[in-house]
Amino acid sequence: MVDKLNEPKWKNDIVKLIWEYARQANLVSNGRLPEGLGEIVRDVRSRCDRCGKSRKRAKEDSGLSGIGVWHYQCCWVHTKTEDYCPHYCLECHQELQKQRPHEVISV
């Protein structure tokens, strides 16, 4: 598994733990996780980076169809340990907008 730089450290740490468990339990086949663990990794990576809310829950909470968890280029994180374009739910991004108003760019 290659370290994924386009995600926050907490997500990357969880994914590393899952891969380590799978390797120790001899569950990795052809460089892939078994279906159940792969689903967990996909779920972790799709959640809001700030609150951990799932895409489905974020969509329900926003009350807007099609709005779930988005990449926000305007909130790019660049530190010594992290460099990524965050996944935020609408609520978390709006909260960050209150703290630091900025032009919104999402992809």
- Res 66 pLDDT > 70: yes
Report if residue 72 sits inside a domain.
yes
Residue of 20, 3, 23 lying closest to 11 (CA atoms): 3
- Res 1 pLDDT > 50: no
Report if residue 1 sits inside a domain.
no
The domain in which residue 18 lies consists of: 9-99
Report if residue 26 sits inside a domain.
yes
Report if residue 107 sits inside a domain.
no
Q: Collapsing DSSP states into helix, strand and coil, what is residue 64?
A: coil
- Segment 18-44, tens digit of pLDDT: 999 999 999 999 999 998 999 999 999
Total count of domains within the chain: 1
30 CB neighbour count, 10 Å cutoff: 4
* Residue range 85-99: mean pLDDT, rounded: 93
Element (H, E) at 75: none
